[in-house]
């Protein structure tokens, strides 16, 4: 078992093939992303491969520049640069490895007054009787020797992020580069994937009450569904049974599935679903004119993590906003601003394996306009309106959010081109020189690239 730090497995395989050392009877098996491979064969061949891997990996172990050393550290599980995204009107930044290490070494988290202060420390007072005075203390209560030692330890390290290969460039002494390498190795760990299935459901309040629902009690629909709910409007339940009951109510026009997005994220990485609307208004002053906007809608932000016992713990923030302006108010001016209502929910919950989280239970007004017609006759010109009728319904609905987290442990499905190649090989129809098969493989590969 050999582990490569500075060379990928593909590069090492290509080196063996170019140098004539590769033997197809004893291939290298391993993970190219982690740089770890396994080789088996005659002892002479195994020793030769191990020595070649050690030599090639050591050659790429940094660049010497006098007393300075430049190290290149490629990350496999974490982004080296910062991740920036917009959340409504706020700009959110998730620091990368380069920024986190740079802040650690340069002390950017210190108070602003200690950083920007340019005044030198005051001269210490001398003793009046000529006795030996106490050594002067510098910033942070350190002595001069400690301050110089700290400056020499961290002040000469230079860290640069290189996003093209997701690598970290470090310049410093050999000890400093080795220290950063150990720190990066501890931070660059593989993360587990989490699939978040979100369901936004509106249930008719009257129908829900007719079923005997109480948010401080339980819901019972036939023999299929039993949900226990607490006073905080948060509960864990069997998501499949709940959705089956919702689908049954939806067929009877007693429930509406507003949205059901599916998000794929990693542990400790936020996932955001935002469906919003924005209206703009003019602010006219005596000499200035400005255009402001207000954004409202449904936003769900989930930050998942795994507990020690394998359960998924989520930091959940929900904002649900809607326009509360009465549609029947015909006297409203054109420049009048709409009335926006917002409901905010923020909580932390732990979901057992195979369960779902149910949040909500607040009432909101819903206005629905439905148009129904007789098939074919309702589409006839001129007389089609005789076979159509519309209805308006205003009711109070109960909105609930169901979140089903699930860890992705199965390997990803192979590409279409790989599946076709495996089928052809198993059937005996594989021919590497067939022009038609080459064209099909190229076409499928292009399709996969377009999807990505």
3-state SS, residue 326: coil
Per-residue model confidence (pLDDT) at position 445:
63
Q: Which of 194, 311, 344 is nearest to 262 (CA)?
A: 194
Distances (CA, A) of 262 to 156, 193, 245, 258, 300: 47, 13, 20, 14, 12
What is the C-alpha to C-alpha distance for residues 370 and 374, in angstroms, rounded to an integer? 14
What percent helix, strand, coil does the chain show, rounded to 5? 30, 35, 35
Q: Which of 245, 260, 253 is nearest to 204 (CA)?
A: 253
Find all residues with CB under 8 Å of 49, minimum gap 6, and list them.
Answer: 2, 16, 21, 28, 39
Per-residue model confidence (pLDDT) at position 318:
92
8 A C-beta contact, residue 118 and residue 137: no
Per-residue model confidence (pLDDT) at position 363:
79
Structure-block tokens of residue 443: 């076409």
- Report pTM: 0.61
From first to last of its 452 residues, the chain has per-residue pLDDT tens of 777 776 778 778 888 888 888 888 888 888 766 678 888 888 888 888 888 888 777 755 566 666 788 888 888 888 999 999 888 888 999 999 999 998 888 764 444 344 344 445 555 555 555 555 455 554 455 554 554 445 445 457 889 999 998 999 998 888 888 889 889 988 988 899 999 999 998 887 766 555 444 444 444 444 434 444 444 445 666 777 777 778 888 888 778 888 899 999 999 999 999 988 888 888 887 788 888 888 888 999 999 999 988 889 999 999 988 877 665 554 455 566 778 888 899 999 998 888 888 887 777 766 666 677 777 777 778 777 777 777 776 767 888 898 999 998 876 555 555 665 666 666 665 555 555 556 666 666 665 554 44
8 A C-beta contact, residue 332 and residue 325: yes
Per-residue model confidence (pLDDT) at position 434:
57
Per-residue model confidence (pLDDT) at position 221:
46
Rounded (10°) CA dihedral 393, 395, 398, 399: 40
**Domain locations in the chain as residue ranges:** 2-61, 66-116+136-190, 193-408, 416-451
- CB atoms closer than 10 angstroms to residue 409: 7
CATH class of the domain at 2-61 = alpha beta
What is the C-alpha to C-alpha distance for residues 18 and 10, in angstroms, rounded to an integer? 12
């Amino acid at each position: 078992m050999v582990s490569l730090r500075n060379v990928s497995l593909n590069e090492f395989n290509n080196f063996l093939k170019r140098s004539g050392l590769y033997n197809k009877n004893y291939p290298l098996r391993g993970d190219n992303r982690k740089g770890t491979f396994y080789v088996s064969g005659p002892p002479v061949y195994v020793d030769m491969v191990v020595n070649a891997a050690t030599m090639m990996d050591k050659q790429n172990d940094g660049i010497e520049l006098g007393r300075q050393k430049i190290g290149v550290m490629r990350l496999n599980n974490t982004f080296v640069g910062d991740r920036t995204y917009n959340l409504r009107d706020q700009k959110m930044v998730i620091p990368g490895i380069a920024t986190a290490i740079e802040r650690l070494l340069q002390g950017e988290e210190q108070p602003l007054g200690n950083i920007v202060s340019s005044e030198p420390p005051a001269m210490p007072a001398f003793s009046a009787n000529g006795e030996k005075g106490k050594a002067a203390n510098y910033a942070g209560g350190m002595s001069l020797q400690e301050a110089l030692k700290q400056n020499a330890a961290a002040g000469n390290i230079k860290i640069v992020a290189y996003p093209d290969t997701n690598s970290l460039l470090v310049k410093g002494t050999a000890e400093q580069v080795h220290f950063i390498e150990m720190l990066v190795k501890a931070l660059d760990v593989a993360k587990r994937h989490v699939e978040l299935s979100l369901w936004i459901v509106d249930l008719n309040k009257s129908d829900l009450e007719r079923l005997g629902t109480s948010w401080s009690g339980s819901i019972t629909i036939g023999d299929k569904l039993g949900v226990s709910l607490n006073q905080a409007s948060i509960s864990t339940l069997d998501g499949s049974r709940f959705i089956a009951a919702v689908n049954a109510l939806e067929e009877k026009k007693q429930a509406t599935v507003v949205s059901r997005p599916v998000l794929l994220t990693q542990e400790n990485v936020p996932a955001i679903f935002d469906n919003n609307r924005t209206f703009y208004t003019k602010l006219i002053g005596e000499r200035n004119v400005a255009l402001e906007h207000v954004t409202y809608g449904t936003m769900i932000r989930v930050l998942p993590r795994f507990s020690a016992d394998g359960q998924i713990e989520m930091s959940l923030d929900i904002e649900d906003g809607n326009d509360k302006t009465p549609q029947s108010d015909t006297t409203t001016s054109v420049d009048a601003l709409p009335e926006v209502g917002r409901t905010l929910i923020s909580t932390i919950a732990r979901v057992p394996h195979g369960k779902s989280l149910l949040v909500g239970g607040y009432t909101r007004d819903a206005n629905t306009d439905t148009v129904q017609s007789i098939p074919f006759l309702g589409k006839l010109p001129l007389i089609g309106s005789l076979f159509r009728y519309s209805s308006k319904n205003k009711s109070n609905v109960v909105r609930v959010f169901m979140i089903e987290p699930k860890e992705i442990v199965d390997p990803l499905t192979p590409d279409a081109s790989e599946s076709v190649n495996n089928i052809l090989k198993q059937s005996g129809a594989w021919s590497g020189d067939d022009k038609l098969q080459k064209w099909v493989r190229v076409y499928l590969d292009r399709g996969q690239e377009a999807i990505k």
